[in-house]
Amino acid sequence: MADGYSETVMTHVERPRNRGVIENPDGAGIERNPVCGDLLTLTIRVADGRIAEARQEVKGCTGSVAASSILTEMVTGATLEAAAAITAQGIVDALDGLPPHRLHSAALAASALRKALAFYRAKQE
Ligand code: FES
């Protein structure tokens, strides 16, 4: 563990997954933590009721980079229902924990996902 971060966190920080932004996405969620300023843009592509692709672009701390990265892995291939059920705690668990002062990184990622899914639903109406 480095500075209280799990090996899983460090793996994602060293090699963040699915970086970038999908052009003309089916859903997009932009979330900024008003206190620390970390900023996450999550874009998704949906096919047959599942998230076929997810990309993240994050400007922020170690926790945010890791949470955003693992979130894209968690949602890729997931049904929209399963993706909607992902919580901040689920992201923390998938990262094998976050230090207490970085738990809000997972909340940032979960919130961006909520927004991306809401964007997608709004587009369908
Ligand atoms: S320091 Fe606040 S989410 Fe990273």
Question: What residue spans define the domains of the chain?
Answer: 7-118
- 79-108: average pLDDT: 97
Output DSSP code: residue 105.
H
pLDDT score recorded for residue 102: 95
Beta-ladder partners of 59? 39
Torsion of CA 28, 81, 106, 65, to 10 degrees: -50
Nearest CA, atom 3, ligand 1: 105
**pLDDT at site 1:** 59
Token representation of residue 99:
């230090």
109 Cβ closer than 6 Å to some ligand 1 atom: no
For residue 48, how far is its CA from the centre of ligand 1 (angstroms)? 34
Q: Which residue minimizes the CA distance to atom 4 of ligand 1?
A: 61
Identify the CA nearest to 103 among candidates 114, 117, 93.
Answer: 93
Q: According to the model, what pLDDT value does residue 4 have?
A: 87
pTM: 0.96
Q: Which CATH architecture has domain 7-118?
A: Alpha-Beta Complex (3.90)
For residues 34 and 83, the model is more confident at 83
Question: Which residue lies with its CA nearest to atom 2 of ligand 1?
Answer: 36
Distance separating alpha carbons of residues 52 and 89, to the nearest angstrom? 23
Token pair for residue 60? 């922020």
51/80 Cα distance (integer angstroms): 7
